[in-house]
């Protein structure tokens, strides 16, 4: 069964801490892995990863993919209260006649002042 | 910027009512999707469409139908709403090109069925 598993389910940290969010997957015909941040509204796109070992970076956020071990991590350094959100991982893969996208359940991050 | 608009943000409907959720995108995307998001279950795909008048079932299509009469508009229909369809519904779109892996979401429609 194709699946995406995120861990931890939730996390509470203090401002300034560094956090690492995990996403593992089991799919056939992998295409790409995407990270989204969801606050009160719709998910907003963070990163798309297609190649192993190449870090994507945007400010304090970075992410890397390991296609051999089938996982990705999202790092957030020097966390701020504005980083509080649900972080979603999604994997795009070729399933039968079409490309499919499957989401993990998300990691809820709470950053306390 | 891509804009995906869901016209109804908050709805309260009675059991058995017919419910329409509308979604419009402005980037000429071929692919459009309807998801529902529930605590502990993440986003689950209900239906998707890869072209006008084309539709495919997702993982949880039961109790739902969709309509794609125009490229920019994808409607989700609950023929007879039930309480277990209380959820947050997200519409999304994506282009067809290989480079367009990213999907863009609308702001969500919160539906409560009483």
Alpha-carbon gap, residue B26 to B28, rounded angstroms: 6
Q: Which residues 6+ apart lie within 8 Å of A13 measured at CB?
A: A19, A79, A109, A110, A111, A112
Interchain CB distance below 8 Å, A42 and B101: no
**Contact assignment for B90 to A98 by CB distance below 8 Å:** no
Chain B residues closer than 8 Å to A43 by CB: 90, 105
CB count within 10 Å of CB B91 equals 27
Is CATH 2.60.40.10 what the domain over B4-113 is classified as, yes or no? yes
Among chain A, residues having any CB pair with chain B shorter than 8 Å are 31-32, 34, 36, 41-45, 48, 50, 88, 90, 92, 98, 100-106
Predicted pLDDT of residue B1:
65
* Residue pairs spanning A and B at CB distance below 8 A: 42
End-to-end CA distance of chain B: 37
Residue A2 has a pLDDT of: 84
Nearest to A103 among B42, B56, B107 (CB): B42
- All residue ranges of chain B with pLDDT < 70 are 1-2, 97-101
Domain positions in chain B: 4-113
- DSSP letter for B72, please: T
Q: How far apart are CA A43 and CA B39, in angstroms?
A: 15
CATH topology for A3-107 is: Immunoglobulin-like (2.60.40)
Which segments of B14-108 are extended strands (E)?
19-25, 31-38, 42-51, 54-57, 65-70, 73-78, 87-94, 104-105
Instruction: Give the domain ranges of chain A.
Output: 3-107
The whole-number pLDDT of residue B76 equals 97
Angle at B24 between CA B70 and CA B87, to 5 degrees: 120
* Structural tokens at position A91: 């994997």
Whether the Cβ atoms of residue B53 and residue B73 lie closer than 8 Å to each other: no
Give yes or no for B103 touching A (CB within 8 A). yes
Note the pLDDT of residue B98. 56
Q: Which of the residues in chain A have pLDDT under 50?
A: none
């Amino acid at each position: 069964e194709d699946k995406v598993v995120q861990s931890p389910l939730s996390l509470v940290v203090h401002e300034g801490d560094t956090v690492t969010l995990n996403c593992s997957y089991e799919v056939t015909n992998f295409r790409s892995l995407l990270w989204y941040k969801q606050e009160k509204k719709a998910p907003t796109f963070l990163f798309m990863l297609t190649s192993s070992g190449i870090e994507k970076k945007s400010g304090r956020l970075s992410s890397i993919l390991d296609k051999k071990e089938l996982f990705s991590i999202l790092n957030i350094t020097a966390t701020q209260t504005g980083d509080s959100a649900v972080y979603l991982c999604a994997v795009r893969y070729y399933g039968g006649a079409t490309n499919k996208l499957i989401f993990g359940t998300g990691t809820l991050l709470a950053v306390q002042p | 910027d891509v804009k995906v608009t869901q016209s109804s943000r908050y709805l309260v409907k009675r059991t058995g009512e017919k419910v329409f959720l509308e979604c419009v995108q402005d980037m000429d995307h071929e692919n459009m999707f309807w998801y529902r998001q529930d605590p502990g279950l993440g986003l689950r795909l209900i239906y998707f469409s890869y072209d006008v008048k084309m539709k495919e079932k997702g993982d949880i299509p039961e109790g739902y139908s969709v309509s794609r009469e125009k490229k920019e508009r994808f409607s989700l229909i609950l023929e007879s709403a039930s309480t277990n369809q209380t959820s947050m519904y997200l519409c999304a779109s994506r282009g067809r090109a290989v480079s367009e892996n990213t999907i863009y979401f609308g702001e969500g429609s919160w539906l409560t069925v009483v």
